[in-house]
Structures are given as C-alpha cells and as structure tokens.
Chain A
Amino acid sequence: MKALREIHDFVAGSSIIAPAGLAIAIIAALASAAVPPIWRAGVFTVLLLGTFVAATVFEHP
C-alpha cells in the first residue's frame, strides 16, 4: 500500500500546482492560438515560463 501511495504521490506531484500547471499549459496553448502566428511561439513560451515562476513563488513546500 505504501508503494502504491508513493507512486500516486509521484504521479500527482503531491500538490495542486502541478495539475494546475498542466491546465495553464492548455490555457497557454489556447491563448497563443488567439494571437497572430508570428507572436504565437513567444506568447506560448512566456505563459509557460510564467507558470513556472508562479508555481515556484506562490507555493510553499
């Protein structure tokens, strides 16, 4: 049971930020699709980097 729990924690990332990060990645993809193609890669990258910064600053380990 302990092994299963550890695997579950490992997959879940043991925080709500990790799944939220994925949700934001999807939002980033949708948002970048709404801008002109020339800006798309930049907007997508900035949104994902922003997610990383927010997940590091606002979550307490």
Chain B
Amino acid sequence: MANYRCPMCRKICSAHLDLARHYLGQTDKKHKEWLKTQGLSYATLIKAQVTEFGNKGYQALADVLKKTATEVEEG
C-alpha cells in the first residue's frame, strides 16, 4: 500500500485526503507559504471547508497533493 509524505514536514499518510487534513491543521508559515506556490490559499481552503457541507477544502488540496506529494514505500 502506498504512503504519501507531506511536502513540508515528515508526516506520512496513506490517503491524500488524510494528508490534506493533516496539512490544513498546520498553522506555521512554512506550510501556508507552500500553498501559495500551488496557486492555493490557506484561508480559501479553510473557508470552503467550513462554509459548505462536504469536504470541499480538503478535497481541493487532496487533488493537488495527488500530483505533488512524494510517494513513500511502506515499512
């Protein structure tokens, strides 16, 4: 089973959605800045997540992480 590493720290998750959830829980500058490089904004993602039912914010980030997160071997 594949695992994916957070672009900005050592956190590893088995699903992109979980990784997105981890990512948006980080409030340091480093994490927020990387989002900008991907054409995203922390505030916009959070707003999407909290103002609409469904996982809108996390899903949008997960879609980007699918293309950018490094795959890591299990074990």
Task: Say whether A associates with B.
Answer: no
